[in-house]
Amino acid sequence: MAITINQYPLGGASITMAHNPVEFVVSSDNTAQQNFKYIADLTWTSSTTAVRYIQGANPINGLCRFDFSSVLRNVVTFNPPVAASNDFYNCTNSYSTLTVKFGEQYGPTSAITNYENLQSDAMYIWNACIPISRWWNGQTPITDIYPVKDSDRKFLTDYPFRTQSKGQKICYNDLHYLYFLQDGATDDVFQVKFVLYKNNVAWNTIYWDCPAAINRTKNVVRIGVGPKNLQNSGSELNYVSSQTPCIDEDVENYSVQLIDDKGNPMTEALFFDIECECTWETPYRLCFLNSVGGYDFFNFNWNSKKTSSYQKSFFERKAWVWDGTAVSYGSHNRGKVQYSTIGTDKLQLTSGWITEEESTWLEELISSPDVYIIDNTTGVLTAVTVTDTQYDYKTLEYDQLFNLTITLDFAFNRYRQSI
């Protein structure tokens, strides 16, 4: 008897996305046996018992397709930058290892026998949900794009502008975090390298050491990379540069790149352009889970408007009270009593002018299930929900100048006193 794994998940054979199909196709040389079925036992990092799948063979080719995503999408969750430091942080909620053991069962109805663990595979999943046009394109597996290895590998963000000629817009006071993916192979992240530019010329280079606990581990990792992060000089930051890690008003842009112990690049050099919009409004910086399992950030600087609505409940009672042996009426006595008041707060935000590429990217904000307002001073996150249910993609050809207006619900209610 023999089980063969004919196809591994299309996202990648060693790492794949938990919210896309996690498909295996297997075959057996025993499909002609009476009552034949395939067995798959699935376990993951935190599981104590296996989840067993039993499926029949395809009647035409004898193969069997298993898709484990319905279980695995509940295994991984989120790691937003809550109470975040600027150092490397292992995002343990965002990934998990899994093991699948394939077997088969067959025999007469009175004595069906299970033959377990005839073929097995172990791999790694992370909290990503990538559109089918990208993860199943018949070309490069998505996991040849993200796990750190060389200068072609990407951070976990889809922001469209990331080069020195045009990078991601960021302000001096902004906190920002980048997420990256490690596959636990021989490639080690030794340091994160910051290069600060003035007049398009490198002015200062800063290195932060990667802790040994992060090296060679299958994980999603977070690092603080915003101008505000660079100005924080807490003991958690491991500086190699003798110069102060600070972005002054002359710095035009800077790059972030992961390197190994020999200085070789392990990711792209992702650029940020220092650009602060002048506004008299209260700026809001949003932090949101993106489709590739990291968190992106975007500023809304214009025309913010906060409103509150209330759900009120009442009951009726007599408008008099006993006063000794008589009844007493008074204008202060209530006949209609408000016994429950629940407040819901909404916030409408408007961005500055955006590009067509940014408009396409910001669809991820509207569809994101995990969105926060981040306080650049304290780093505190306030949970919100984007209530917009439709998104219009803007194009330069038809819309010319455009921005984005969204509506947020705060993810908690306010309660007033009960009478």
Q: What is the pLDDT of residue 324?
A: 85
pLDDT at 151: 93
The mean pLDDT value of the chain amounts to 87
CATH topology of domain 3-78+96-128: Immunoglobulin-like (2.60.40)
Distances (CA, A) of 264 to 9, 65, 191, 253, 260: 30, 41, 10, 22, 5
pLDDT band of residue 277 (cuts 50, 70, 90) is confident
Residue 138 has pLDDT above 60, yes or no: no
Asked whether this chain's domains 3-78+96-128 and 142-274 adopt the same fold, the reply is yes
β-strand partners of 289: 295
The pLDDT tens digits for 155-177 are: 999 999 999 999 999 998 899 99
Structure tokens at 94: 């965002």
Quick: pLDDT tens for 64-121: 999 999 999 999 988 999 876 777 889 999 999 999 999 999 999 999 999 999 999 9
Nearest residue to 14 via CA among 184, 172, 128: 184
Find the mean pLDDT for residues 275-282: 76
CATH (one of 2.20.28, 1.10.3470, 2.60.40, 3.40.1580) for 142-274: 2.60.40
Give the span between the Cα atoms of 282 and 290, in whole angstroms.
Answer: 25
pLDDT at 140: 60
Each domain of the chain, given as residue ranges in start order, spans: 3-78+96-128, 142-274, 284-415
pLDDT (tens digit per residue) in 217-270: 778 999 999 988 887 554 334 444 444 556 777 889 999 999 988 899 999 999
The answer to whether 206 touches 245, Cβ cutoff 8 Å, is yes
Written as one letter, the residue type at 32 is A
Determine the 3-state secondary structure of 351 from DSSP: coil
Ramachandran quadrant class, 107 (left: phi over 0; alpha: psi -120 to 50; beta: rest): left
Does residue 132 surpass a pLDDT of 90? no
pLDDT digits (tens, 9 = 90+) for 6-63: 999 877 778 889 999 999 999 999 999 999 999 999 999 888 899 999 999 999 999 9
pLDDT level of residue 137 (50, 70, 90 thresholds): low
Give the C-alpha separation, 222 to 126, whole Å.
Answer: 14
Residue 305 has pLDDT above 70, yes or no: yes
